[in-house]
């Protein structure tokens, strides 16, 4: 057992030498040190959003357990908020982050809206999910086309790896639009892509019905549904991380496995936080013109 003091809180780290990612020989202690290093950026994305964590008690290849409410064993200082008569976790500070990691959290996920302004998403997101046999090149191709389309609509976007097999395109927006309004835009764009690339893209949510096509997910943008927090690790053998990218990197070609716990810290030192236009230097982009166009053309 080890001990660490974070934000003045003394936290006992159980089994610090436990190996979590065998291929990279990453221990629980290594993992917590990684989280502390990326915490200024990770927390800015998670702050004031109802947290969901995934715990893997039998290892990253075993069954996962989802946790949203504050466990009874949690210390009083863990940040939280009441939602639907339950005390829900918030990830607002480093001490809560380290406590959650020690508790067993491998993945951190948050919804699109903040609990202090519910039902108004902070961003719209497109999730590009390849089939098992898809080349990642198709993900890159579609993401670049999506960036260009968004640009014609006057919107800047930030690409990132999901930390799993796909990519997610974030569009920061004014938090003044309802989920119903933002979903109209996501559906409009998703249908445009499905109609123009019918051999490559599907909107079918059922995995077994997608065939070899790329799933263009626009349905995730809804109340209570979540996305991985930026810089969150994923329960994958390569210790991959949800990592923001530059569009130049996407155009040059990348692989999700390029970005993991061992490489992301140096990457942030070299490039800074590429997610800041979604968080600390957020671009509150208007959707008014697009919504008017959709309504006018009944699309």
Q: Is the pLDDT of residue 141 over 90?
A: yes
Angle ∠(147,210,198) on CA atoms, nearest 5: 50
Per-residue pLDDT tens over the stretch 66-94: 999 999 999 999 999 999 999 999 999 99
- Report the percentage of the chain scoring pLDDT > 70: 99
Cα angle 75, 227, 201 (rounded to 5 degrees) comes to 165
The confidence band for 271, taking pLDDT boundaries of 50, 70 and 90, is very high
Tell me which of 3.40.1160.10, 3.90.920.10, 3.40.50.300, 3.50.50.60 is the CATH number of domain 123-297: 3.90.920.10
Mean pLDDT over 247-269 rounds to 97
Proportion of the chain above pLDDT 90, given as a percent: 93
Give the mean pLDDT of 182-207.
Answer: 95
Listed by start position, the domains of the chain span: 2-111, 123-297
CA distance 94 to 87: 19
Query: pLDDT-based confidence at 132, cuts 50/70/90?
Result: confident
Does 134 have pLDDT greater than 90?
no
Please, what sign has the CA dihedral across residues 228, 229, 230, 233?
negative
Residue 210: pLDDT over 80: yes
| Stretch 21-34: mean pLDDT | 97
Mean pLDDT for the stretch of residues 115-138: 91
Q: CATH code for 2-111?
A: 3.90.920.10
Comparing 2-111 with 123-297, is the CATH topology the same? Answer: yes
pTM to 2 decimals? 0.96
pLDDT score of 133 more than 90: no
């Amino acid at each position: 057992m080890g001990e660490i003091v974070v934000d003045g809180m003394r936290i006992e780290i159980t089994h610090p030498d436990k190996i979590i990612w065998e291929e990279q020989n990453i221990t629980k202690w290594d993992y917590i040190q990684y989280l502390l290093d990326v915490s200024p950026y990770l927390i800015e994305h998670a702050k004031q959003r109802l947290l969901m964590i995934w715990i893997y008690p039998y290892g990253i290849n075993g069954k996962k357990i989802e946790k949203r409410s504050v466990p009874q064993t949690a210390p009083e200082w863990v940040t939280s908020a009441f939602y639907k008569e339950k005390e829900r976790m918030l990830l607002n500070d480093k001490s809560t982050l380290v406590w959650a990691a020690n508790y067993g959290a491998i993945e951190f996920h948050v919804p699109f809206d903040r609990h202090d302004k519910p039902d108004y998403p902070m961003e719209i997101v497109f999730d590009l999910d390849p089939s098992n046999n898809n080349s990642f090149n198709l993900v890159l191709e579609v993401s670049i086309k999506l960036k260009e389309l968004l640009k014609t609509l006057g919107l800047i976007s930030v690409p990132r790896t999901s930390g799993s097999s796909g990519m997610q395109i974030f569009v920061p927006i004014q938090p003044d639009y309802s989920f119903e309004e933002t979903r109209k835009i996501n559906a409009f764009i998703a249908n445009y892509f499905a109609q123009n690339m019918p051999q490559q893209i599907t909107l079918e949510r059922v995995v077994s019905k997608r065939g070899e096509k790329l799933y263009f997910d626009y349905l995730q943008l809804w109340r209570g549904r979540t996305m991985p927090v930026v810089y969150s690790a994923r329960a994958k053998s390569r210790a991959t991380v949800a990592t923001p990218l530059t569009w130049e990197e996407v155009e040059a070609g990348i692989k999700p496995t390029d970005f993991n716990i061992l490489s992301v810290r140096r990457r942030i030192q070299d490039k800074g936080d590429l997610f800041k236009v979604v968080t600390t230097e957020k671009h509150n982009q208007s959707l008014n013109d697009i919504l008017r166009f959709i309504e006018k053309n009944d699309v």
